[in-house]
Amino acid sequence: MPREQLPPYLRVSADLRRKIEEGELLPGEQLPSLDRLAAEYNVSRATAQRAIKELASEGVIETRPRWGAFVAERRD
């Protein structure tokens, strides 16, 4: 499926995953807030939240209530 045809939440999660894999976002680093992600990717806050949930379900990030989302420690 071409990148343009991906649902917006998958486009956001794919880009965040790429940033993590390429070391742009490091283990333990906090991701931007939902509002900031929504603005950065020009999506709704709900779409940004769905992207975060997608990455959390894959174990790529960890969410901490009232703190936010953080890049998970690498499991090599």
Structural domain boundaries, residue 63: 3-71
Burial of 16 (0-12, 13-18, 19+ CB in 10 A): buried
Residue 3: predicted pLDDT? 52
**pLDDT by 10s per residue, the chain, length 76:** 555 688 999 999 999 999 999 999 999 999 999 999 999 999 999 999 999 999 999 999 999 999 999 999 976 5
* CATH code for the domain of 10: 1.10.10.10
- Answer yes or no: is 27 within a domain: yes
- Answer yes or no: is 65 within a domain: yes
- Answer yes or no: is 58 within a domain: yes
- Answer yes or no: is 76 within a domain: no
- Answer yes or no: is 9 within a domain: yes
Q: Is the pTM of this model over 0.85?
A: yes
Number of structural domains found in the chain: 1
Residue 73: predicted pLDDT? 92
Burial of 69 (0-12, 13-18, 19+ CB in 10 A): buried
